[in-house]
A = this chain, B = another copy of it.
């Protein structure tokens, strides 16, 4: 996207099974003595791989390199599902959307921006109009928008935020972690491999699963859609056919997760993928143990 907009991009190639590499970022920035690099861009939770980058470590890497680059983070599939702290983690630009953890239809996007980003914006030369912060900031002062606002979604947003606070953000994050762990236990019990390699980077909002060699993930997805009316995420670009994704974010509870995992387990059988039929049981054992633990007794 950045390249398409005419920005010179220095992509740090990594294994897709790992998140952004703080060490590589530090090295790259340290080498950039003339400060040609203007921003470090990271996706917090990569929707296509189920890998959550360690943003605080990226911040530390930038600081260690004593580099003035802005730190920009895409939180589309993490905000309100996975703990994220714009100010505390020293992020300069955060991008988010309404359609994932905020449980709304698509149609709203959010930017959180630091003073430093705002200053950079004032001298930036990239052409922009609709996405120009200046007009938004000017209008927002009086509670208005520079363009026709999606008033319906703003009402929905107020309700979604109320719902999140009613449950409590900590409880919301814990719920997503619980569902992710239950999902991983199911995946392992099936004998399949979680795509993310580093346990510190497991996503709490979705889990990507590697298909065994010789089995097509898209065929599995079609079988599950036809038999159980459930649409799983596909593997994107180079993961096409090799990975399927189980989403567990937003307005989701233990039993919707169990319905989801049952659909996957039955689908794996129908597709003839050689797995042990023990994933649903493993997930139930974990969820039941969580329900028993005193930590759940809070609310």
Question: A: which residues have CB within 8 A of B?
Answer: 1, 4-6, 97, 99, 105-107, 126-130, 132, 148-153, 227-230, 253-260, 262-263, 265-266, 269-270, 277, 280-281, 284, 287-288, 291-292, 296
A187 to B128 CA separation, bound complex (whole angstroms):
40
A269 to B288 CA separation, bound complex (whole angstroms):
8
Residue of B nearest to A223 (CB): B291
Residue of B nearest to A262 (CB): B258
A112 to chain B, nearest CB (A): 20
Residue in contact with A228 in the complex, picked from B150, B227, B291, CB distance below 8 Å: B291
A281 to B153 CA separation, bound complex (whole angstroms):
39
The answer to whether residues A291 and B270 also contact, given A106-B148, A127-B6 and a CB cut-off of 8 A, is yes
Q: Return chain B residues, CB-CB under 8 Å to A229.
A: 253, 255
Residue of B nearest to A104 (CB): B152
| Identical chains bound together, number | 4
A255 to B230 CA separation, bound complex (whole angstroms):
8
Asked if B151 and A105 sit within 8 Å, CB to CB, the answer is: yes
Asked if B270 and A263 sit within 8 Å, CB to CB, the answer is: no
Asked if B262 and A128 sit within 8 Å, CB to CB, the answer is: no
Q: Closest 3 CB pairs between A and B? A: A259-B259, A258-B262, A255-B259
Q: Return chain B residues, CB-CB under 8 Å to A148.
A: 97, 99, 106
Asked if A263 and B255 sit within 8 Å, CB to CB, the answer is: yes
A258 to B279 CA separation, bound complex (whole angstroms):
14
> What 13 new A-B contacts, CB under 8 Å, besides A105-B150, A229-B255?
A1-B129, A4-B129, A106-B107, A106-B148, A106-B150, A107-B153, A126-B127, A227-B291, A228-B254, A258-B258, A258-B263, A262-B280, A266-B288
Residue of B nearest to A297 (CB): B226
Residue of B nearest to A131 (CB): B130
Q: Return chain B residues, CB-CB under 8 Å to A281.
A: 277, 280-281
A142 to chain B, nearest CB (A): 12
Q: Return chain B residues, CB-CB under 8 Å to A129.
A: 1, 4-5
A11 to chain B, nearest CB (A): 16
A292 to B254 CA separation, bound complex (whole angstroms):
27
Asked if B128 and A5 sit within 8 Å, CB to CB, the answer is: yes
A183 to chain B, nearest CB (A): 14
A229 to B254 CA separation, bound complex (whole angstroms):
9
Residue in contact with A259 in the complex, picked from B151, B256, B266, CB distance below 8 Å: B256
Residue in contact with A4 in the complex, picked from B5, B128, B151, B266, CB distance below 8 Å: B128
A258 to B256 CA separation, bound complex (whole angstroms):
9
A107 to B257 CA separation, bound complex (whole angstroms):
30
